[in-house]
Amino acid sequence: MAAFTVRREKPTLVVPSKPTPRELKQLSDIDDQEGLRHLIPVIMFYKCNLFMEGEDPVKVIREALSKALVEGVLFIEADADIELDQLMVDTMPQGCWYLDELLHNVPGSEGILGCPLLLIQVTRFRCGGFAFALRLNHTMSDAPGLVQFLTAIAEFARGDGGAPSVPPVWQREFLAARQPPSITFQHHEYEQVIDTPTPTPTPTPTHDNNNNTIQKSFFFGPKEIKAIRSHLPPHHRSISSTFEVLTACFMEVAHTCTWTRSQREVSRARMVSTYPLEYAVDLVKKSAARMTGEYLRSLADFMVANGRPLNIMEGNYMVSDTRHAGFDTMDFGWGKPVYGGPVSAAPFLSFYTSFKRWDSGTNVFARSSNGKVSRGVEEND
């Protein structure tokens, strides 16, 4: 792994380029749950672009940011004595092990309340490329909302007009509970396991970075996806998406690698890991089919009626598929990034991102206890 040094300027709050409205925005009953009260790191890497010679990405992005948002973004300017290609060699196999260098955890900024709306660090590399890293408060935005905001910054950075092409929309009231609440579905992801006195909440990507867990990333191109599909019956191969077969594969591994399990979860894990792959694929299909508008309204009602409980780890495996969110096409004037998306996972929470190695494919970030997921993927290869 390449060693390098980063020199940072003092963090500053970006001041709006013109007066902005001051108003309160209401979170929905789905946004305001303890399981979403965490910070998500995202990073985009850009190569040197000769057509942008003389332009400073720090200056361009900071000025665009001042046009796009009210005051509240903490911004860090930085320089690293390394070339982008050296970093990318290390990034994908192990994940972004140097994230702390490219996204400084400013003391006092890591909370949920009374903290910056966003933390952004733009780091210039020796080769002329740069990294745009940010930390998102997940209660305030999800991936689509963040991409909409980044798109506005990118349009200002490129000089595409005087206003964002898509006006900002809040309307979180659509995810508020009904009066009176009407719970029309069972929400198993919040079910407490009967023989587990204290269910373990799912760790977050910024919560579990200790020595007890190891993060890995796994690349799946057309060749690897074809190999996984070969384990399915012929009638499943053509009707199962990449998302479905990948999630089924990692779900089998995750259940095999569970650390603390109740008797019920041991039996579930044994069932998932010993049945044919199509069994897990069908479970994924059924779970996705349940995610309707009525299911989300029922979830909001469930949250209010049950005191916004934490989703639990036992029996759950969560996936955030950001491949089509738009991080990999975000252009601030230097072209598309060579990589864009989340770079950190938590046990039982994996991220799927787009990445082009020799072929275009999917990168899966996963974290496990002492490398169990890595061994599990190899055993299921």
CA distances, 68 to each of 75, 118, 129, 314 (Å) = 14, 13, 24, 41
Confirm if 310 and 35 have CB atoms less than 8 A apart: yes
Residue corresponding to tokens 């092409």: 165
Query: 157: helix, coil or strand?
Result: helix
- Report how far residue 249's alpha carbon sits from residue 257's, in angstroms, rounded to the nearest whole number: 13
* Residues 6 or more apart in contact with residue 38 via CB below 8 angstroms: 112, 138, 204, 205, 206, 207
Positions marked catalytic: 138, 331
- Report how far residue 160's alpha carbon sits from residue 154's, in angstroms, rounded to the nearest whole number: 9
Counting Cβ atoms within 10 Å, is residue 343 exposed (0-12), middle (13-18) or buried (19+)? buried
Query: 222: helix, coil or strand?
Result: helix
Residue corresponding to tokens 């990118």: 154
User: What's the N-to-C CA distance of the chain in angstroms?
Assistant: 26
